[in-house]
Amino acid sequence: MPVTLKLSRKFYQALGEDVTNEFVDALNNVDAAYRSELRDTIEHHFSRFDAKLEQRLTTLRAELDIKWTERWTTLDAKFDRNLERLKTELLRWMFGFWVSTLIGLGALFLRR
């Protein structure tokens, strides 16, 4: 949205209507060219920034994937160790229960 330049009435009277209008048009054209160059420069820098940001995010995602994989592996190993420990303890209790039950039943049958 270009900003049109307005000059004072004295300027128009001193240089004339045609010359002043040409001067105003020239200044507006220069302004439009600078705005266009500025827009192109900003778009170029933004695209570079966007590419760097995407690269850094990709690197960060890869690092986080590695860390989370290591943590899940460690957690799985701890979980497996705990399950093995619980399994061993459960088997001991089951063996103790069944042995004591069989001893009690055997004593009842042999008592006769």
Q: What is the mean pLDDT of the chain?
A: 90
CA nearest to 3, candidates 23, 40, 32: 32
Convert the pLDDT of each residue in 17-26 to its tens digit: 888 888 888 8
**More confident: 11 or 6:** 11
Residue 3 has pLDDT above 80, yes or no: no
Convert the pLDDT of each residue in 31-52 to its tens digit: 899 999 999 999 999 999 999 9
Amino acid at 56: R
**For the chain, counts of helices (H) and of strands (E):** 2, 0
Convert the pLDDT of each residue in 55-68 to its tens digit: 999 999 999 999 99
Domain ranges of the chain: 9-110
DSSP string, 25-45: HHHHHHHHHHHHHHHHHHHHH
Amino acid at 58: T
pLDDT at 4 (0 to 100):
56
pTM: 0.52
